[in-house]
Copies of this chain bind each other. A is one copy, B any other.
Amino acid sequence: MSTQNPDPAAPGRGARPLRRRLLDEAARVLAEEGPGALSARRLVRAVGASTMAVYTHFGSMPELVREVMKEGVERFLARVREVPPDADPVRELAGLCRAYQEFARAEPHVYAVLFGGSALAGFELSETDRSMGVALLRFPRDAIRRCAGAGRFHADTDADLLVRQLFAQMHGLAQLTRAGYILGRYGPDDVLAGLLRDLAVAAGDNPTQATTSVRSGLAG
């Protein structure tokens, strides 16, 4: 049934296939003008096609959005994977959180759809979409385990619980920052440093050491 054309090489020269041009334009509009500007008619106008192009290649707008989100998750994963291993696991944990916040700030609309429950052109997260998001938690969870293994955190630290707490912290900070709620004397980076320091301290890390590791991991 799936007629994935195995030969898109037919159009010579740089002619990207229509499907690709629609995806790229969708990502561009989403990034530059936000979810409100994303519509099937606008996309097809931009690539010089008719609305049928969307339905031939994707079936519906929500399915097109799903493809855009899939590529967004890959960029998120790539960012997280690029955080280098570190002899100081608390520092590495802070580096992961820094990558998280950076992605949320670089691609706020993609982030909002993935984790913020933002409805985009009728698209809603599926179970497998969510499981891909949860896969991201593997990295900080392992870092937390290494913190415990290195004696920085209590030996009986529950990494599965702690990583969920961390997830809530990172998501909350990202969303409130974008919504304009982190104002006044302390900015997002101050709150981020405070959250990480307190998480480490509550888990058993020495306060001075925690402060140092977090600060250096966030500066990384």
Contacts and interface: CB of A to CB of B under 8 A. Distances in A.
Contacts of A170: 172
Contacts of A191: 161, 164-165, 168
Interface residues of A, number: 46
B175 A115 contact: yes
Interface in A84-135: 112, 115-119, 122, 125, 130, 133-134
A184 interface: yes
A116 B179 contact: yes
B195 A203 contact: no
A93 to B, nearest CB: 14
A55 to B, nearest CB: 21
Given A164-B191, A203-B198, A175 B172 contact: yes
Contact of A169 (B117, B169, B180): B169
Contact of A182 (B164, B179, B184, B202): B164
